[in-house]
Every structure is written in C-alpha cells, then in structure tokens.
A and B are shown apart, each in its own frame.
Chain A
C-alpha cells in the first residue's frame, strides 16, 4: 500500500435544509485500496460517495482525485465509475450496449470497444450474454453488468453504492469474494458504501465508520473490531460486545460498579467504558489464570452453530460470552447455573464514552 492518495476529502460539509448530512468529513483514501464507508442508514455515507462522484456539490470543502482538485468539475468530466444501488442499467439497451456506453462517450474506436467489452465480460464471468436485454438477466447477472459497465472505462476510482443489497444471501457471499478478486485484478481503488458490516469487514482494506455525518473511526477491519475508538463503533461492529462504564484510576485500571477491572494500557482518563469481546471472555465452573474474575447466573443459552452464546448476569450487568468448540455437550452450562467468567487484562480495552 503506497502513500499515493487516490481520493482526498478535506473538510467536506453538506447540508440539506436544516440537516447536516456530511459534517466536516476528512478522508485520505490510498490508491488501489478497497475502502468502505460503513454506517447505519442516514449516517451520510451515500451522500459522501455522491460528493466524490460529483452528483452532489459540497457546501464546504475540497475533493481531490489523484491530487487534482475536482470540487467544481462536473460528474461527466471526472474519471470515476459508479455502480448504483439499483444498478441503473439502461433498459432500452442490451448488455453490450450498456457496457459500451462509457467507451462510446470517450470516442473509443469500434474495434477497440468490441475487444474491451469482451475482456471485461470475461473478468466478470458473463461471456456470451452480450446481446441479451438487461431485464432478461437474473439479479446476480445484472449486478455484474453494472460492474462491467463501470470498470470497462478504466476509471481512476470505482464507487459502489450498496450494490449487493438486493441479492440473496448465498449469491451475496459469493459476490463479495468475486468483488475482492476483481478489485485486485483491475488494480483500481474501490470505494464501497454499505450498512452491512459483514460486507465491509470481508472485503475492505480499510473501513471508515460514519454516524450522523461524522467519521467515527478509520482503520483496518482488525483495528476497528479489537480497538474501537468509541462506544458507538464498539457496539456497531461485531455481533455483540461487553461494555462496562467506569472511571480510570490509573493506567490500565478502571473502577466500575463491579469492582476494579484490569485492562490493556491506555492514556485515556476520566469516565470511560471497558470493552471486552464475547469470544475473549472465558466461562466455567471455576476459572484460573485470569486477571478479571466475576461470578454470575446463566440467563440464556443460544446454540449458534460454531459457538454457543451465553448471557450471564453479574450483579445486574449482562455479559455476553461466545464459547467456541463446545462439541462436548456434556460441558454445557444450564439456565440458572452459577458460573465464573473472566478474562486476561489485555483482552479488554479502555474506550472513551
């Protein structure tokens, strides 16, 4: 990953009436990166994407593509490609014509067009379907046509607006792998907008989490998962998280209603939350070798396939614990059991509230 930035957003602000949809967003996206904008509906991620595309004009701020200030450049003059949420395939054209459209606009020669369309169809695995009408294709196939259409023009940046939303689960999972492969193959920056963290975590090199128009955190999937920068990110990412409020006593020690908790070192002071992921918490009749130890009652047991989810009540606080590899059913706890739960100090971190 080089330090050349394909897209830079400097202090972008966009208002719709009284609502600030994009609130002083700053981003530096590297070239050839698969970068996702992730967040709940209404967080401003789609608006941010559209600003990069030029479909919305920012009220303040600068947009740069490969160093060039494109804030005032209209969409059709920016060298971007975009895959829309509902695909926006031209209904009055067949597959070939849809894909060739961008090339025609760039005045590419007929022979060259034919060649490039053929190549891209191979990359997206749709060979032979050139002359079908787009409404005769399945959802997954239409998806690939939209992708091919945007890629064939060899844009500097490819923007994708929740493209996998309408697909069935299995096809979606398949497409996620496909998309990542294609991105590596064509060596283009992909900027991907979604509300689905599985998509973002699976495919991205880095993710920017947004809420209410502001960027909450930018990092790799690992960083975001294990080192969330605030409680929103901690709760939004991952299936579940344990958060306990408290006051920092000294570096790595937090005073909470459950007592003093030992965490990984941190410079944060004042009121904080202790975060520990469910799979990092051990559960058992008797635990040894943990830095933090609590006793509680099993409230619920849910079998989730590759792990069991326990909810344990400790003095009014509910802990979520994921126990993997419980093939031996004899080791299961039961409702109402008194158990011990705990974790090593480096498994929990301190995050500001």
Chain B
C-alpha cells in the first residue's frame, strides 16, 4: 500500500478530516478577507494601531467616547433610524395591498404579474436610483408635465431633501418587502378564510383576524430585509441627499475617506455593526429558526 492509499483510507474513515478538507478553504478565505478586516477595524477603534501602522497593546475607549459624546453623530444615527423606519412603514403600506391583490384576487395571471413586478428590480440598485434621480430633478419630465398641466406653479424641488432620500429608498427597497409578503400570503390556506366566513366573519373581520395575523412572518421578514440594509444606506443619500440628509453610511465614509480619521471611523463602524447584529439577534430570538428560511 502506497502512501497515497493510506492517506485516502484515513480520509475516508474520518468524518472530521473530510469536513475539514471541505471547510478549510472557504473558511480560510472568509477569515482572511472578511473577518480579519473587521478585526483590524476593531483594533483601530480601540486605539491599538498607531499612525505608523504598528500594533500597540494599549487599548483605549477614547474614540468610542468621542463618538458617543458627539451629538452630531447621534443626530445622524437617529436620522438613519428615522429614514429606515419611515421607509419600512411606507414599503409595508404600499407593498401589502399589492402583494394581497396579486396573491388573493388574481387567479389567472398572478405568476405573470409577480414577474412583472420584479422586472424593474432586475435593473441594478444604482441604475434604479439614478432613474429616480432623473425624475426628481427640477428639469425632469415629471415636473414639465405637471407644470404644463397647470397642476403646479413652479417645478417641485425635492432633490437634496429628506423627502427625496425616503422616496428613493422606498422605490429601491419595495421589492424586498413585497416578495416575502407574497410568499407568505401564497402559502396561506385559503380554506381558513372560507371557514371564517361560515362562522359569520365579514371579509373585513376575516382579514383582520385571520389573514393579517397569519401574514406576520412575512411582514417580519420584509421588515428585516428592508430596515437592516436601509439603515446602512450610503448610495442614496450620497446621490439625492445633501449634507443635511446624511446617514450613518455617509458619516462613516466621511471619516475614512474625507477626514481620514480612521480611528473615529472605526469606532463608529464597530458601534454600527454591533447595533445591526443586535437587531438581527433579537429577530432570530423572536422568530426562531423559521425566520431565517429564505
């Protein structure tokens, strides 16, 4: 028996070896190129790297304190929560009726329509954002149309306002709310509704007491899929917002690329990441494993 045969025999017998062989390359890759960067950012945040890019073993919370005590940062953070929150709620208010209509009221063409709904989202996030930009611009077709129809006196100026950012965010994120909602509603046992009718519940009561509660998992999934990325949004405020509409993403960017203060930028990033992770962990705790089934 040659060396390679003995080796193969060993590998065959040992599950741990097999699993390790499979897991080591991808995990190693992730460890180096995904997790290590965060480790380095962590070091910066605790002031453990100096300007000469050497590691110094003197952790300090000074950068965290500076971030936390700076009201400007808090303002921007709250604004991010506000934008993301309004976006989620609007996505829900707009997305639920659409998902409901396609799922419940369209028998023949529902597959077609859900595909038609998704088509605009095949266009990349950036391009969709740009398309919205060209509508929101002062000189845009929409403004021209509205002024010529005498519906407004002068062109609407919403670029570089809170409203613009929220509007574009809703436009970009709507599908992430509609798809899990639609999937949930599709899986709903329609005979439950018939049972409710036979028990005397009107269509409205049936919706409130049966459909809505049973679509909660979809709503929660949609909430997660919209809110979490929305809070960290960078592109949209950068393109359609001004310095008054900055979100956390833009602030982090400013610290790293603008002011080049990597220490504060790192502390800010770490705080933000911890915030996101705690949101997700709370969600998982509440929804159990089922919540992650996408």
Interface residues of A (CB under 8 A from B): 53-55, 74-77, 80-82, 84-86, 88-92, 101-102, 105-106, 149-150, 153, 159
Tell whether, in the assembled complex, residue B194 and residue A55 are in contact, meaning their CB atoms are under 8 Å apart.
yes
Q: Given known contacts A91-B214, A92-B214, is B191 in contact with A102 (CB within 8 Å)?
A: no
Q: How many Å from the CB of A326 to the closest CB on chain B?
A: 48
Please, what's the 1-or-0 string for B163-207, where 1 marks a CB less than 8 Å from any CB in chain A? 000000000000000000000000001011011111111110110
Q: Given known contacts A55-B194, A84-B194, A86-B191, is B214 in contact with A105 (CB within 8 Å)?
A: no
- Which chain B residues border A105 with CB–CB below 8 Å? 199-201, 205
Tell whether, in the assembled complex, residue B191 and residue A84 are in contact, meaning their CB atoms are under 8 Å apart.
yes
* Chain A residue nearest in CB terms to B214: A92
How long is the Cα–Cα vector from A202 to B205 in the complex, in angstroms?
Answer: 38
Tell whether, in the assembled complex, residue B194 and residue A90 are in contact, meaning their CB atoms are under 8 Å apart.
no
Most chain A CB neighbours (cut-off 10 Å) among B199, B203, B205, B209: B199
Tell whether, in the assembled complex, residue A88 and residue B199 are in contact, meaning their CB atoms are under 8 Å apart.
no
- Listed A/B pairs (12) with beta-carbon separation below 8 Å: A53-B198, A75-B194, A76-B197, A76-B200, A76-B206, A82-B198, A84-B194, A84-B195, A88-B195, A101-B209, A105-B205, A106-B200
Tell whether, in the assembled complex, residue B198 and residue A150 are in contact, meaning their CB atoms are under 8 Å apart.
yes
Tell whether, in the assembled complex, residue B200 and residue A90 are in contact, meaning their CB atoms are under 8 Å apart.
no
Tell whether, in the assembled complex, residue B200 and residue A88 are in contact, meaning their CB atoms are under 8 Å apart.
no
B258 CB-CB contact with A under 8 Å: no
Tell whether, in the assembled complex, residue A55 and residue B213 are in contact, meaning their CB atoms are under 8 Å apart.
no
Give chain B's interface secondary structure class: helix
Q: Given known contacts A84-B191, A105-B205, is B198 in contact with A90 (CB within 8 Å)?
A: no
How many contacting A-B pairs (Cβ < 8 A)? 64
Interface residues of B (CB under 8 A from A): 189, 191-192, 194-203, 205-206, 209-210, 213-214
If A55-B198, A75-B197, A153-B199 are given as contacts, then 12 extra A-B residue pairs at C-beta distance below 8 Å, sorted by A number, are: A76-B201, A76-B203, A77-B200, A81-B198, A82-B198, A84-B191, A86-B189, A88-B189, A90-B196, A92-B214, A102-B200, A105-B199
How long is the Cα–Cα vector from A102 to B200 in the complex, in angstroms?
Answer: 6
Tell whether, in the assembled complex, residue A75 and residue B198 are in contact, meaning their CB atoms are under 8 Å apart.
yes
- Which chain B residues border A91 with CB–CB below 8 Å? 192, 214
* Chain B residue nearest in CB terms to A158: B198
- Which chain A residues border B205 with CB–CB below 8 Å? 105
Tell whether, in the assembled complex, residue A82 and residue B195 are in contact, meaning their CB atoms are under 8 Å apart.
yes
Most chain A CB neighbours (cut-off 10 Å) among B200, B201, B205, B214: B200
* Chain A residue nearest in CB terms to B190: A88
* Chain B residue nearest in CB terms to A75: B197
- Which chain A residues border B195 with CB–CB below 8 Å? 82, 84, 88-90, 149
- Which chain A residues border B192 with CB–CB below 8 Å? 88, 90-91
Tell whether, in the assembled complex, residue A149 and residue B199 are in contact, meaning their CB atoms are under 8 Å apart.
yes
Q: Given known contacts A90-B210, A91-B214, A92-B213, is B191 in contact with A101 (CB within 8 Å)?
A: no
- Which chain B residues border A101 with CB–CB below 8 Å? 196, 199, 201, 209
Q: How many Å from the CB of B291 to the closest CB on chain A?
A: 16
* Chain A residue nearest in CB terms to B198: A82
* Chain B residue nearest in CB terms to A159: B198
Q: How many Å from the CB of A72 to the closest CB on chain B?
A: 15
How long is the Cα–Cα vector from A75 to B195 in the complex, in angstroms?
Answer: 10
* Chain A residue nearest in CB terms to B191: A88
Q: Given known contacts A84-B191, A90-B210, A92-B214, is B199 in contact with A102 (CB within 8 Å)?
A: yes
Q: How many Å from the CB of B248 to the closest CB on chain A?
A: 36
- Which chain B residues border A84 with CB–CB below 8 Å? 191, 194-195
